[in-house]
Chains A and B, each alone.
Chain A
Amino acid sequence: MAAPHSASRPLRSLVALGVLIIGLAVWAFFPNTEHNVKLGLDLQGGTQVILIPKPVQAGKEITDEQLQQTVTILRQRVDSLGVAEAEVTTQGSGAGAAIVVSVPGASPERLVDLVQRTALLDFRPVYTVLAPSASVAKGEVKGTKPVQAAALDTAFQKAVVALDCTNPASYSGGTPDDPTLWLGTCTKDGAAKYVLQPAFIKGTNVTSATAALPQNGVGWVVNLGFDSEGASALAEASTTLSKLPDCSTGGPSPCNAFAIVLDGIVSSAPRFNEPIIGGTAQIEGNFNAEAANDLANILKYGALPVTLEAVDITSVSATVGGDQLRAGIIAGLLGLGLVMIYLLLYYRVLGLVAIFSLVIAAGVTYLTFIVMSKSIGLTLTLAGVAGAIVAIGITADSFIVYFERIRDEMRDGRSFRQACESGWIRARRTLLAADFISLLAAVVLYMLSVGGVRGFAFVLGLTTVIDVVVAFLFTYPITVLLGRSRLLQAGSRWTGLDTQKPNKAGPIGVTETIASRRRKAKESQEEVSS
């Protein structure tokens, strides 16, 4: 046994690592909490929408406050879907920000409906209702976009007639409309075409919207509350409109309905039965609970401070997600196995040290994933899994740098025991410099990227830090302890370091030390005497 004072240092490192691991494990597997790594949608199935916010008026900057407001609104909308673990997050800030909405379980249609197409809301009096089909002169193209004009002129009328509401493209575009202009557009199911007057109430005037089932009513209704500006506009409009004849397809114009317009598409067109004075209104219709709730949500959260462009919609089924996860795990295990075999063949006993180091690094990484899932909501995506697999090689490289240094030191004539210490001092510097570059790359990638790149960068950065921790607290102390053990002190061939006896044949190297020169002298003496 080595003297206690010299043995204390490596032991202390190992104890520190033990405490760290136990601490992480307790945190990760604390009873009555979640102890799974939270998986991204590409691994568990679901829909993810990446939205880029754009200012409502061109040329204005988006403030962080507006961004937060948008996220809050989106979160409420997504929560109304009633899916657990739905997530709305922002990435980046200011002009380069993106909003990522993820909902587990594949329901892309409803999610996109709620999130993408419900950005700008206004209320417009209906001028007339038309059949959804388009009629155009021969050779002309049917329209697929809502049309707007300052007045009900011939060009506008012609364009409205040419709009083809039977084509899905016409009612899915969701480009925000200008509330001060006339609008010719489709309903959101493509069942009818509306000619609408300029808006009388904007979405921002709505203060409350709730779905309710009245006691004596036949179906669900949506109750609306307005601010004072909205209330007076409503009173005025409803007084005028309720005197007009009922709306019907191809019927009178103007007529007594108003349209709730979302991003240029008519989402609902209720009639005014009577003037509404009090600033509250009730929308009746053949609603079921879901439809009433959706409409209420749209009304309540419809008026976002920004417009959103859905730039990437990905929908992955649970089976495909599971397959991707399995492939990732298999690739990871295969990669780990190959690296371990190589290290074992090349470094033998030291290879075992490297393998244990890798296993510990993998374990610490897994525990950290769980802890971070819990504490900061880390989700592991496929890109993250790829990052972890790539990290195997980079982590193993730290051990290679160290072991090659030990080998160098032994070639300079030091004993294995000495080489473990002196090699570390040199390897440590290289390792820190190289890992710093890796970490720098990861941090920069993380700060300046969106989507998959971010998950990858995070995992790569995390594993780089873990690599340093394991190298300092495990690989180095264990190697030093091995160096002190009798088994390896003589430079046994099992270290994989001894294939040629150093300097025997008279070196021409420039790195000869006094120690090696003395030993050479001694060896030659022995040869003479024997």
Chain B
Amino acid sequence: MSRLTGLGQRLYNGKASFNIVGRRKTWYIVSSCILLVAIGSLLIRGLNLGIEFRGGADFSIPNATCSVEQARTVAETKTASQAIVTVSGNGTIRVQTEPISTAESTVLAKSLATTCGVSVDQIKIQVVGPSWGSEISKKALQGLVVFLILVALFMSIYFEWRMAAAGLIALAHDLIITVGLYSLFGLEVTPATVIGILTILGFSLYDTVVVFDKVKENTRNITGQSMLTYSEAANLAVNQTLVRSINTSIVALLPVLAIIIVGAGLLGASTLLDLAVALAVGMASGAYSSIFVATPFLVQLKEKQPAMIALSSRVHARRGQAAKKTGAAGDDSESSGQILTTLEDAGQRQQPKKLPRSKRPKNY
């Protein structure tokens, strides 16, 4: 623990620094590879949709005494179609059939109850019409679009459009990875999964907002100095919030892990478990993307601004001079190779000089 605190300390004052923004190509390649796998899997394997999306009937028989084969035989003779029968850790047998009517489902539930030695009201029955899934998906998609528009607006007003764009890219990144993982491992997609994925929307952006808030703070009046380029200021912000990001991710994942443990141990497959798996993947991906995707992407957008290009060349010019000076004086060269310069050089930043209003660049 204290090691993490110590690291936090060094990260904060810049003594220890991970060059996250500068090595953005590495992260982009890593992310692209994961995204390619995710998208490829989605295209080739597709998603294993639960009965809520396909339509069908689902019977959960707790403490069943019958075998999987017996249950399947009963289900297939009664419905004259294929049935999927699975058994979960706590002895609950789950039978899934093609779409059937309510009356048929009652008949089948009774037969299953007799075969498996439980009373019929112990069985959890769910019968879903085929149109329900498209209804849910449509609503989820509507919700997604409305949310994205609102978030883009909010972030454009609170930060700026570049941050909104970078935040949304990170969000898309998280969503695709989560959905891709479901496809890759053939996990069943239920409405609870959809809930989980929609929650990631909020969570991924929450993380990004916290990092961006620090970036915003660090880059206030950045054009009024020539010590740091935008990339460096942003990198410092990422490093300064790194400990928080790690802590937050751990704290957010702990309850989700609790759900997974309890859900898998006590309930077998359930709403809780479906939800938690989607959340765990999305949260992990959200923590990664807020640091390694959102901020580098933001920097890329920002560095295209004329004011930032000018700043960058000023900073480099100044560093060149400083390097010459220290080289001539034969001083230790600690400062020359470093991103951050020593405090003696930092006098400018304490009292930033502003350009007169008339001479300021357009995007000041």
Check A523 for interface membership: any CB of B closer than 8 A.
no
Check B66 for interface membership: any CB of A closer than 8 A.
no
Q: Say yes or no: A400 contacts B259, CB within 8 Å.
A: no
Query: What is the distance, in angstroms, from A383's C-beta to the closest C-beta of chain B?
Result: 6
Check A453 for interface membership: any CB of B closer than 8 A.
yes
Query: What is the distance, in angstroms, from A437's C-beta to the closest C-beta of chain B?
Result: 5
Chain A: how many interface residues by the 8 Å CB criterion? 98
Give the A-B pair count, Cβ closer than 8 A: 304
- Given A338-B254, A434-B206, A450-B139, A441:B9 Cβ within 8 A: no
Q: Say yes or no: A335 contacts B147, CB within 8 Å.
A: no
- Given A394-B203, A509-B14, A334:B271 Cβ within 8 A: no
Q: Say yes or no: B209 contacts A310, CB within 8 Å.
A: no
Q: Say yes or no: A401 contacts B266, CB within 8 Å.
A: no
Question: How far apart sit A502 and B8, CA to CA, in the bound complex (Å)?
Answer: 12
- Given A390-B255, A430-B213, A452-B271, A496:B136 Cβ within 8 A: no
Question: How far apart sit A511 and B217, CA to CA, in the bound complex (Å)?
Answer: 12
Q: Say yes or no: A168 contacts B104, CB within 8 Å.
A: yes
Q: Say yes or no: A450 contacts B136, CB within 8 Å.
A: yes
Question: How far apart sit A97 and B114, CA to CA, in the bound complex (Å)?
Answer: 38
Q: Say yes or no: B9 contacts A500, CB within 8 Å.
A: yes
Contact residues in B for A429 (Cβ distance below 8 Å): 213
Contact residues in B for A457 (Cβ distance below 8 Å): 195, 198
Contact residues in B for A172 (Cβ distance below 8 Å): 101-104
Q: Say yes or no: A510 contacts B236, CB within 8 Å.
A: yes
Q: Which residues 295-345 of A sit at the B interface, judged by CB distance below 8 A?
A: 309-317, 319-320, 323-324, 326-328, 330-332, 334-336, 338-339, 342-343, 345
Q: Say yes or no: A338 contacts B132, CB within 8 Å.
A: no
Q: Say yes or no: B12 contacts A408, CB within 8 Å.
A: yes
Q: Say yes or no: A453 contacts B194, CB within 8 Å.
A: yes
Q: Say yes or no: A339 contacts B340, CB within 8 Å.
A: no
Interface stretch (choices B31-39, B69-77, B239-247): B239-247
Question: How far apart sit A401 and B124, CA to CA, in the bound complex (Å)?
Answer: 43
Question: How far apart sit A434 and B205, CA to CA, in the bound complex (Å)?
Answer: 8
Check B88 for interface membership: any CB of A closer than 8 A.
no
Question: How far apart sit A407 and B124, CA to CA, in the bound complex (Å)?
Answer: 52
Question: How far apart sit A386 and B15, CA to CA, in the bound complex (Å)?
Answer: 41
Query: What is the distance, in angstroms, from B154's C-beta to the closest C-beta of chain A?
Result: 7
Query: What is the distance, in angstroms, from B47's C-beta to the closest C-beta of chain A?
Result: 18
Kindly identify which residue among A312, A396, A512 contacts B52, using a CB–CB cutoff of 8 Å.
A312
Query: Known pairs A173-B101, A317-B122. 9 more at Cβ < 8 A?
Result: A312-B52, A393-B255, A397-B252, A440-B150, A450-B135, A453-B139, A460-B199, A499-B5, A509-B13
A-B CB contact pairs (8 Å), 17 listed: A116-B102, A169-B104, A173-B101, A319-B62, A334-B258, A334-B261, A383-B271, A386-B195, A429-B213, A437-B205, A440-B147, A442-B202, A451-B136, A456-B195, A456-B199, A502-B9, A510-B349
| A-to-B contact residues, CB < 8 Å | 42, 50, 52, 92, 96, 98, 106, 108-109, 112, 116, 168-169, 171-173, 309-317, 319-320, 323-324, 326-328, 330-332, 334-336, 338-339, 342-343, 345-346, 382-383, 385-386, 389-390, 392-394, 396-397, 400-401, 404, 407-408, 411, 426, 429-430, 433-438, 440-442, 444-445, 447-453, 456-457, 460, 496-497, 499-500, 502-503, 506-512
